[in-house]
Amino acid sequence: MVYNLYHLVFTLFCFMVNVLVQVIAKRRSRSISLLNSVFIGFFTGFFLFIVLEGMVYIYSFRKGDEVLNLFYNLLLFFSLSYNYFHFVNLGETARRARILTEIYESKGGLSERGILTRYNAHKIVKKRVVRLLRHGQIVFRDNAYFIGKPFMIIASNVVMFMKFIILGMNFEFLAKKGKL
């Protein structure tokens, strides 16, 4: 029972370290992107998680139970980190949240035309493509775009896998098929 409490406390502590390191990294260095600060926080919290769980495992008398606890708490840590990533991402990129923020911050409100001018789909896609090119995530050759650095594809697949593990189905696949 006491070891179970250690696992839970360690997991929550490591998640708090994850968040704290991300916030400090982003605020201390303007050269670190938001995404990189999230990764720095995640890997710091994850490293601490492995160290603390390893210590509990080494000093435990019931190794089998500890492996099961490690699995459950690893899933908890990943789930908390996954949700935190999307919480941060929501405030940064979600159009709905950005539109609401801009309307709130404008003194005289925003007209529909003003909103449509700011959120022109062509401009948004062009900005994203430029950003993807600049970071090497896509490349342009033979008059077409191709995957460059595969990091985001790998990260996307990890996210899809976590959704499948946690939610039990592939929502993007269902949405493409018109079943969602």
Range of the domain at 27: 2-96
For 114-127, what is each residue's pLDDT tens digit?
A: 888 887 878 888 88
Write down the pLDDT at residue 53: 85
Domain assignment present for 47: yes
What's the per-residue H, E or C state across the chain? Answer: CHHHHHHHHHHHHHHHHHHHHHHHHHHHCCCCCHHHHHHHHHHHHHHHHHHHHHHHHHCCCCHHHHHHHHHHHHHHHHHHHHHHHHHHHHHHHCHHHHHHHHHHHCCCCCCHHHHHHHCCHHHHHHHHHHHHHHCCCEEEECCEEEECCCHHHHHHHHHHHHHHHHHCCCHHHHHHCCCC
173 pLDDT above the threshold of 70 = no
Residue 131 counted as domain residue: no
> Is 162 inside a domain boundary?
no
Q: What are the pLDDT digits (tens) for 8-60? A: 888 999 999 999 999 999 888 878 888 889 999 999 999 999 998 888 778 77
Split at pLDDT 50, 70, 90, the class of 143 is very high
Domains identified in the chain, total number: 1
Predicted structure pTM score: 0.59
Is 179 part of a structural domain of the chain?
no
- The mean pLDDT value of the chain amounts to 82
